Structure 1
Amino acid sequence: MSLAIFDLDNTLLHGDSDHAWGEFLCEKGIVDSELYRQANDTFYHQYVAGTLNIYEFLEFALKPLKELPRDQLNQLHEQFMHEKVEPMITEKAEALLKQHRDKGDFLLIITATNKFVTGPIAARLGVDDIMATDPEEINGQYTGKVAGTPCFQGGKVERLNEWLSMHEHSLAGSSFYSDSRNDLPLLEVVENPVAVDADETLTQIATERGWPIISLRD
């Protein structure tokens, strides 16, 4: 059984669930729409450019989890899945997951987006496990802080190595699919790196190194 590892946003999804969650909160009037949208867009552009300070972003992104009751968060997320996430799921992405599933591979999503947002998405996609940035919880309530190492850039490799030490898997025969230059650290340690609808920097690197370049857009 080989590991088939997938980035989530702009890879398996035709869109970014982290940014979309922020936009959803604005649309529902949960946050100050003008200020929140401006910050959300700024952080997203920094991510795309490879200049994001993950801790500054998480301080911003996890704050609403702290401020809203858990029941309300869960209800909002159900709406979010229906209104925002389902339209991002493409037939080609689901076909790729099925291809690896039929081969008997272990399907693992590794994403920088926090697990509150991404856990239900991983369940919807039917993968075997997900590794995401973990929001800190105390007594069932989010604190607005991050727990442990953010699952971002080199942190993805660190978190994967921790995961491998606790599971009977290895990187032998492993694949990793990603769209982003931010995922170069992980792309460089798997046996089969694949660029998916990649940004300009990753496309150039993939071309130079002979990595497959594919699209999952319908």
Structure 2
Amino acid sequence: MPALRWLTPGKRPATARSVLAGEASAEAARKAAAPEEADQRATGGTVAGTGAEAPAEPAFPVAGDEEAAAFFDLDNTVMQGAAIFHLGRGLYKREFFQRRELARFAWQQAWFRIAGVEDPEHMQDARDSALSIVKGHSVAELTDIGEEIYDEYMAERIWPGTRALAQAHLDAGQKVWLVTAAPVETATIIARRLGLTGALGTVAESVDGVYTGRLVGEPLHGPAKAEAVRALAAAEGLDLARCAAYSDSHNDIPMLSLVGHPYAINPDTKLRKHARAHDWRLRDYRTGRKAAKVGIPAAAGVGALAGGTAAAVAMHRRRK
């Protein structure tokens, strides 16, 4: 792992943990994206196989603007459902955990759904449970499995409309980044498969290529996403006023508010209301405005793997 200001979750203010998570994600994203940039330049940065025409909007991006970039939330913005949900399905299929572990996961997820608030003790417990699944496994192993899971569950769930928006930025010569609470390794795979520049995601600590079961800071959720975008913009020399951001969730309002061109994509009720009040552009690629979302609430990102795996196995059992 790069040299960063390490904090122990629960020992420092939430703002400090968000900053740490954002800085760690930005550094990991830049490191992972570096080998891909030459390939993108060689291919013109084209998203392979989009099959979608360039959208009439946005009125930008301005071609050749090197100080502009685009930041896309992943779940229900670029991809139908939650990446962590599909990751959980894949890990369960590969016997990373047993059914007896689901009771604890389900209780933690149920608490969030019922209470509607993030109880610090429950959220910390959820993080610990989720991270215990991958503790002791190598980063290389999880990366290889992530490639398989993308092909099995994610590839056919990409929204063509959002993909076309990303392509418009790439065609203008701008970098395009995913920003998600999903593990940075999973997010990076998705970004690479879509021909994007890279991804900002939750960073799990690893030592000598093996997961320790701890996070760097906290999950990349809410304010932490904004911190990651801010840190990446500073490192890349971007002018956020000339950048764009896209999301479906009101939890990403901090990130959307950072840029000069915010977009609400497949928005939830709160984000739709906020977008209209602030004259942000909206796009909805669902068949209906109240289309069901697969997976878990975005705000549950702090316990996402736990909730996602529980939901995934529940679906698996119903289908038997």
> TM-score per shorter chain, which class?
0.7 to 0.9
Moved over 6 A (4+): none
Are residue 202 (structure 1) and residue 271 (structure 2) matched?
yes
Distance 2:76 2:202 in 1: 17
| RMSD of equivalent CA atoms | 2.6
Give 1:145's aligned residue: 214
**What CA distance in whole angstroms lies between the structure 2 residues aligned with 1:178 and 1:118?**
15
Shift of 1:67: 4.1
Partners of 1:91 and 1:80 in 2: CA distance: 20
Asked if the contact 1:164/1:170 (under 8 Å) is kept, the reply is: yes
Task: String of CA shifts for 1:107-155, please: whole Å, max 9, x gaps.
Answer: 1111111112211111111111211111101011011111135321111
- TM-superposed CA distance for 1:42, in Å, is 5.5
Cα 1:99–1:63 shift into 2, 3 Å? same
CA 1:110–1:69 in 2, change beyond 3 Å: closer, same or farther?
A: closer
Deviation at 1:176, TM superposition (A): 0.6
Q: Structure 1 counterpart of 2:199, which letter?
A: I
Shift, 1:55, TM fit: 4.4
Aligned-pair CA distance for 1:38:
7.1
Q: Distance in 1 between matches of 2:140 and 2:261?
A: 41
Find out whether 1:63 has 2:115 as its counterpart: no
Q: Which residues in structure 2 correspond to 1:78-157 (within 5 Å)?
A: 78-157=147-226
Identity of aligned residues (%): 27
2:80 alignment counterpart: 14
Greater RCO (CA < 8 Å, at least 6 residues apart): 2
Q: Which residue in the other structure is 2:307 paired with?
A: none
SS at match of 1:136: strand
Cα shift at 1:199: 1.3
Q: How does 1:150-169 map to 2 (within 5 A)?
A: 150-169=219-238
- 2: distance between equivalents of 1:87 and 1:41? 31
Counterpart residue identity of residue 166, structure 1: A
Runs of 5+ consecutive residues of structure 1 not aligned to the other structure: none
1:26–1:36 Cα contact (<8 Å) kept = no
Aligned to 1:172: 241
Deviation string for 1:61-104 (max 9, x for gaps)? 32222143555434422321111111211322321111111122
Letter in 1 for 2:246: Y
Unaligned runs of 5+ in 2: 1-64, 288-320
Contact 2:241–2:258, Cα closer than 8 Å, also in 1: no
Find the aligned partners of 1:5 and 1:33 in 2 and give their Cα distance: 37
1:187 aligns with 2:256: yes
Rounded to whole Å, the distance in 1 between the matches of 2:257 and 2:107 is 29
Task: Tell me the equivalent position of 1:76.
Answer: 145
Query: What amino acid is aligned across from residue 173 of structure 1 in structure 2?
Result: R
Contact 1:108–1:128 (8 Å) recurs in 2: yes
Residue 90 of structure 2 corresponds to 24
- Which amino acid counterpart does residue 227 of structure 2 have in structure 1? E
Question: Structure 1 residue 37: deviation in Å?
Answer: 7.7
Length, aligned pairs only: 217
- Mean alpha-carbon deviation: is it higher for 201-210 or for 19-28? 19-28
Q: Helix, strand or coil: the match of 2:229?
A: helix
CA contact (8 A) 1:50 1:181 kept: no
TM-score, structure 2 as length reference: 0.61
Q: Tell me which protein shows more strand as a share of its residues.
A: 1
